[in-house]
């Protein structure tokens, strides 16, 4: 598609951009990737001297919400990323090419740039029945994944589907939908979320481009920059949580006052994401800001952790409304009842025993006088 | 006066001070953890409308929970240590049924507790074999609660100890699952307290050896004629 030998600076020059505009763009990209001002030189150098890496974007079991989110990233504008500093060689949803042409693009990139191209995966891969539940151009997703990942310089798993299975892998997972990191034997950057924040996605790509290596990842393979803190930790409603001021129902006075949504099931305290800092749609808002609790979409198995409007999941096998507390209360009451029944029978026995012992120790006395004490 | 038989009892020092201290610190911590845990899981609705800066009660409840958790954890570690250096009633062997005698005793205690038969064999003056084993299982639950609790705490703490438990989160599939299990196992403590307190009273009566007061003073009583059969 594009000429891979050019660096971004060369490309921008050829399009008539000035040096000033180029540096401005570098500044944007650096800020986005969280690089401090002293690191700006590295960014400029990377964009000036490094040829733009080819990118292959594969779509498997997904809904394209990740792509939708990506093309809505605010800075640098997506056109710049897609067509200027990346060279997007293959992506089913956005490419102009179709059929044989498209497949050839993919083939060429893999062959011509082994160990250089970045592989972006959107969607999980079904493993059941030899993977027939997701096929592109007559080949299974699993087959395509192995082929494209083999020589990739870096593999990024976009969204919850690719990084933890999302809705396809929720119980009972009929197609055995599997996240990418469980299939590949190489490091995978997980960028979970349904979808992930567009600006986070571009920042991760920028990081790889500028530094030529993966960002720092946590134990679950997520970039620490964006996933080391809970939504709760930086939430603007956090003070209400600490003050114990909670929304009880979505239509009460407390909801209108903007209290904490913890009691109506907000998953902020158990969800690692940058929503409350980066926000969505050019920093406009995020779920909690618009009055709805976080549903924990970037967390492993969040579809199975329902219902979304209570903080304790329903207890498996006991119907939808049953939580651990219901079961616990039943068991607790049963224990108390058992203890009470035991105490009653014990005291009946005790009465007889005391009676016998008194008689034994005091045979001359009338048996009727033996009391409890 | 005459309502008693003359049986000679000997006082025996069973529960050493560290054991008793452990017991009561543990009891207070567990009660605090249950109470605050319930509130954290389902906070009490507040009917008045304040602004957030005017109060910090939920933060305080959580603080109490965390402090109690730290004390609970270190207290538990001390008890484990004491299981290796304490007297024979405190030793770890009391908690794990390794001998045939312990299994026999467990059966005997089960019969006495559930079928309410009369006590036929002499049972240990320290922990009886069944109680010891139940305590061992509850130690496992203590450990589980410490693991899951510190794992949840690790994301909000920069200190060293909770960070040691951060690996539990990915293992269990995320904070939500860890929180769920931490909550479920809390109910073990509720049920344990009910049954434990009752059985103390019950065994006090069945054995007549001062079970209840022994956790205060440390002394139990044994019939002189049974002293020679001591375990």
Using the beta-carbon criterion (under 8 Å), do A270 and B179 form an inter-chain contact?
yes
Instruction: Give dist(CA B147, CA B132) in Å, integer.
Output: 23
List, as ranges, residues 81-110 from B with C-beta within 8 Å of A: none
Q: Are B144 and B171 in contact (CB under 8 A)?
A: no
CA nearest neighbour of B208 among B121, B119, B95, B137: B119
The SS3 call for residue A94 is coil
pLDDT digits (tens, 9 = 90+) for B60-75: 999 999 999 999 999 9
Q: What is the pLDDT of residue A371?
A: 44
Give, rounded to a whole angstrom, the gap between the first and last alpha carbons of chain A. 98
Q: Are B120 and B108 in contact (CB under 8 A)?
A: yes
Q: Among A61-70, A349-358, B14-23, which is the least confidently predicted range?
A: A349-358
Residue of B nearest to A359 (CA): B3
Using the beta-carbon criterion (under 8 Å), do B175 and A327 form an inter-chain contact?
no
Q: CA B80 → CA A286, B22, B33, B89, distances in Å?
A: 48, 10, 20, 13
The C-alpha of A71 sits at a distance from chain B's nearest C-alpha, in angstroms, of 29
CA nearest neighbour of B7 among B225, B230, B229: B225
A34: domain CATH number is: 3.40.50.700
Using the beta-carbon criterion (under 8 Å), do A332 and B184 form an inter-chain contact?
no
Using the beta-carbon criterion (under 8 Å), do A220 and B202 form an inter-chain contact?
no
Of A243, A313, A327, Cβ closest to residue B180? A313
pLDDT for A322 beyond 80: no
Chain B residues with CB inside 8 Å of A370's CB? 3
pLDDT digits (tens, 9 = 90+) for B39-48: 999 998 887 7
Q: Are A297 and B155 in contact (CB under 8 A)?
A: no
Q: Mean pLDDT across the stretch A14-40?
A: 83
The C-alpha of A324 sits at a distance from chain B's nearest C-alpha, in angstroms, of 6
Chain A residues with CB inside 8 Å of B61's CB? 244
Using the beta-carbon criterion (under 8 Å), do A324 and B46 form an inter-chain contact?
no
Chain A residues with CB inside 8 Å of B169's CB? 219
Chain B residues with CB inside 8 Å of A266's CB? none
The C-alpha of B160 sits at a distance from chain A's nearest C-alpha, in angstroms, of 17
Q: CA A179 → CA A21, A187, A300, distances in Å?
A: 40, 13, 10
Q: Are A204 and A191 in contact (CB under 8 A)?
A: yes
List, as ranges, residues 249-288 from A with C-beta within 8 Å of B: 253-254, 257, 262-263, 267, 269-272
Residue A317 included in any domain:
no
Burial B190-227 (b: 16+ CB within 10 A, else e): bebbbbeebbeebbeebbebbbeebbeebebbbeeeee
**Tokens linked to A347:** 């005291």
The rounded radius of gyration (Å) of the Cα atoms in chain B is 21
Using the beta-carbon criterion (under 8 Å), do B180 and A324 form an inter-chain contact?
yes
Residue A261 included in any domain:
yes
Place B135 in a pLDDT band, splitting at 50, 70 and 90: very high
- Residue B84 CB-half CA count within 13 A: 4
Q: What is the pLDDT of residue A372?
A: 44
Chain B residues with CB inside 8 Å of A365's CB? 2
Q: Where are the alpha helices (DSSP H) in chain A?
A: 8-14, 19-32, 40-49, 65-70, 78-80, 99-112, 141-150, 159-164, 198-211, 224-227, 238-242, 253-257, 275-278, 324-361
Q: Specify the length of chain B in residues.
A: 231
Residues of the domain holding A208: 8-227
A281: domain CATH number is: 4.10.480.10
Place A169 in a pLDDT band, splitting at 50, 70 and 90: very high
Chain B residues with CB inside 8 Å of A170's CB? none
Indicate the angle between helix axes A19-32 and A198-211, nearest 10 degrees. Answer: 110
Using the beta-carbon criterion (under 8 Å), do A335 and B191 form an inter-chain contact?
yes
Of B41, B61, B202, Cβ closest to residue A312? B41
Please count the other Cβ atoms lying within 10 Å of the Cβ belonging to residue A139: 13
The C-alpha of A66 sits at a distance from chain B's nearest C-alpha, in angstroms, of 22
Instruction: Give dist(CA B55, CA B60) in Å, integer.
Output: 10
Any residues with CB less than 8 A from the CB of A302 and at least 6 apart, and which? Answer: A160, A166, A194, A267, A295, A296, B174, B176
**Tokens linked to A183:** 């299939």
Instruction: Give dist(CA A205, CA A80) in Å, integer.
Output: 13
> What residues pair up with A330 in beta bridges, in sequence order?
none
The SS3 call for residue B230 is coil
The rounded radius of gyration (Å) of the Cα atoms in chain A is 30
Chain A residues with CB inside 8 Å of B51's CB? 243
Number of folded domains that form chain A: 3
pLDDT digits (tens, 9 = 90+) for A225-256: 899 999 999 999 999 999 999 999 999 889 99
Is B205 at the interface with chain A, CB within 8 A? yes
Burial A140-158 (b: 16+ CB within 10 A, else e): bbbebbeebbeebbbbbbb
| Interface test mutation site (partner B, options A270, A315, A337, max chain B beta carbons within 10 A) | A270
The C-alpha of A263 sits at a distance from chain B's nearest C-alpha, in angstroms, of 7
Residue of B nearest to A236 (CA): B52
Q: What is the mean pLDDT of chain B?
A: 90
Please count the other Cβ atoms lying within 10 Å of the Cβ belonging to residue B71: 16
Instruction: Give dist(CA A157, CA A170) in Å, integer.
Output: 18
Is A342 at the interface with chain B, CB within 8 A? yes
Please count the other Cβ atoms lying within 10 Å of the Cβ belonging to residue A29: 28
ipTM of the complex: 0.87
Q: What is the pLDDT of residue A370?
A: 44
Instruction: Give dist(CA B230, CA B11) in Å, integer.
Output: 13
Any residues with CB less than 8 A from the CB of B74 and at least 6 apart, and which? Answer: none
Is B63 at the interface with chain A, CB within 8 A? no
Same domain for A162 and A237, yes or no, is no
Place A367 in a pLDDT band, splitting at 50, 70 and 90: very low
Q: Which helix (H) or strand (E) holds A54?
A: strand A54-59
Using the beta-carbon criterion (under 8 Å), do B155 and A229 form an inter-chain contact?
yes
CA nearest neighbour of B154 among B169, B145, B167, B166: B166
pLDDT for A186 beyond 80: yes
Residue of B nearest to A248 (CA): B45
Indicate the angle between helix axes B100-110 and B129-154, nearest 10 degrees. Answer: 90
Same domain for A250 and A150, yes or no, is no
Q: Are A215 and A223 in contact (CB under 8 A)?
A: yes
Using the beta-carbon criterion (under 8 Å), do A242 and B156 form an inter-chain contact?
no
Q: What is the pLDDT of residue A347?
A: 85
Identify the burial level of A363 via C-beta atoms within 10 angstroms of its C-beta, where 0-12 means exposed, 13-18 middle and 19 or more buried.
exposed
């Amino acid at each position: 598609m594009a000429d891979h030998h050019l660096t971004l600076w060369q490309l921008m020059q050829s399009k008539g951009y000035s040096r000033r505009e180029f540096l401005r763009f570098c500044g944007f990209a650096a800020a986005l990737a969280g690089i401090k001002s002293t690191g700006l030189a590295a960014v400029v150098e990377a964009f000036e001297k490094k040829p733009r890496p080819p990118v292959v974007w594969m779509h498997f079991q997904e809904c394209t919400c990740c792509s939708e989110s990506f093309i809505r990233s605010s800075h640098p504008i997506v056109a710049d990323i897609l067509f200027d500093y990346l060279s997007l060689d293959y992506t089913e949803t956005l490419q102009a090419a179709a059929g044989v042409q498209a497949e050839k693009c993919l083939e060429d990139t893999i062959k011509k740039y082994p160990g250089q191209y970045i592989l972006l995966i959107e969607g999980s891969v079904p493993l059941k029945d030899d993977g027939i539940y997701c096929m592109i151009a007559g080949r299974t997703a699993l087959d395509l994944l192995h082929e494209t990942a083999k020589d990739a310089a870096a593999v990024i798993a976009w969204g919850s589907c690719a990084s933890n299975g999302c809705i396809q892998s929720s119980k009972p997972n009929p197609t055995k939908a599997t996240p990418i990191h469980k299939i590949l034997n190489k490091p995978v950057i997980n960028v979970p979320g349904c979808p992930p924040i567009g600006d986070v996605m571009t920042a991760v790509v920028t990081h790889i481009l500028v530094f030529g290596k993966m960002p720092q990842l946590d134990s679950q393979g997520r970039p620490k920059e964006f996933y080391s803190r809970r939504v709760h930790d930086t939430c603007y409603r956090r003070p209400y949580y600490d003050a114990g001021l909670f929304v009880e129902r979505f239509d009460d006075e407390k909801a209108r006052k903007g209290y904490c949504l913890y009691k109506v099931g907000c998953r902020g305290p158990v969800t690692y994401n940058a929503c409350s800092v980066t926000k969505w749609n050019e920093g406009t808002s995020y779920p909690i800001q618009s009055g709805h609790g976080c549903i924990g979409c970037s967390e492993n198995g969040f579809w199975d952790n329902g219902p979304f409007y209570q903080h304790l999941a329903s207890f498996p096998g006991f119907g939808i409304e049953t939580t651990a507390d219901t079961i616990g209360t039943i068991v607790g009451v049963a224990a108390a009842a058992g203890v009470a029944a035991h105490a009653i029978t014990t005291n009946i026995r005790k009465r007889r025993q005391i009676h016998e012992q008194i008689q034994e120790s005091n045979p001359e006395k009338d048996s009727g006088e033996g009391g409890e004490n | 006066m005459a309502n008693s038989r003359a049986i000679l009892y000997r006082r025996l020092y069973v529960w050493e001070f560290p054991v008793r201290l452990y017991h009561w610190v543990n009891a207070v911590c567990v009660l605090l953890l249950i109470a605050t845990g319930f509130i954290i899981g389902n906070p009490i609705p507040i009917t008045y409308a304040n602004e957030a800066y005017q109060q910090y009660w939920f933060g305080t409840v959580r603080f109490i929970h965390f402090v109690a958790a730290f004390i609970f954890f270190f207290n538990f570690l001390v008890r484990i240590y004491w299981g290796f250096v304490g007297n024979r009633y405190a030793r770890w062997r009391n908690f794990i049924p390794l001998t045939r005698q312990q299994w026999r005793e467990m059966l005997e205690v089960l019969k006495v507790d559930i079928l309410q038969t009369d006590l036929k064999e002499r049972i240990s003056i320290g922990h009886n074999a069944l109680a010891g084993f139940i305590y061992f299982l509850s130690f496992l639950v203590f450990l589980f609660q410490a693991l899951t609790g510190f794992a949840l705490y690790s994301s909000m703490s920069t200190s060293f100890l909770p960070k040691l438990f951060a690996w539990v989160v990915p293992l269990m599939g995320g904070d939500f699952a860890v929180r769920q299990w931490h909550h479920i196992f809390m109910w073990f403590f509720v049920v344990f307290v009910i049954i434990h307190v009752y059985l103390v009273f019950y065994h006090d009566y069945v054995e007549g050896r001062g079970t209840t007061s022994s956790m205060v003073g440390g002394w139990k009583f044994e019939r002189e004629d049974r002293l020679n059969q001591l375990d």
